[in-house]
A = this chain, B = another copy of it.
Amino acid sequence: MSVDALDARILGLFAAEPRVGVLEASRRLGVARGTVQARLDRLQRDGVVRGWGPDIDTTAIGYPVTAFATLQIEQGSGHTTVAAALARIPEVLEVHTITGAEDLWCRIVARSNADLQRVIDQVVTVQGIQRASTVIALAEQIPHRVLPLVEAATKN
């Protein structure tokens, strides 16, 4: 599992200033370039770093409404089948199976509250879904972050 303090500093730097190159990073961190390069290769190889994709703001592309929906599915329907159908709806950004009375949890976005109704209709139309319960996210108090956790992980 393998993340130490230097890994955390590397990840932190690249998270803060993704544009810096390996060379510049090595200067900032006070280590050799080869070291940074090797660490990055290892982190990627071990799957710690899944990718470097652009973080896209859904609000900026016209989907300012975020909502969380929990779904109950019919006993006969497989979770995977339902999830595959949900995957065809672009406004569904994330789906997990969960414990508890409900079966699936999803994050969905929409252009407006009215548009959210349209998206939910699409969701509940999916074969095998019995009931959907939706709450709207009003404000993002803590945006998705992992760095503090990386920090914590080094201190084992």
Given A18-B52, A142-B87, A98–B61 Cβ distance below 8 Å? Answer: no
Q: How far is the CB of A120 from chain B (nearest CB, A)?
A: 14
Closest residue of B by beta carbon distance from A18: B52
Q: Are A142 and B95 in contact (CB under 8 A)?
A: yes
Q: Number of contacting residues on A, CB 8 A? A: 69
A38 within 8 A of B: no
The number of times this chain is found in the oligomer is 2
Q: Are B94 and A142 in contact (CB under 8 A)?
A: yes
Within residues 3 to 26 of chain A, which ones have a CB less than 8 A from any CB in chain B?
3, 11, 14-16, 18-19
> Which of B11, B52, B58, B136 touches A98 (beta carbons < 8 Å)?
B136
A31 within 8 A of B: no
Closest residue of B by beta carbon distance from A7: B61
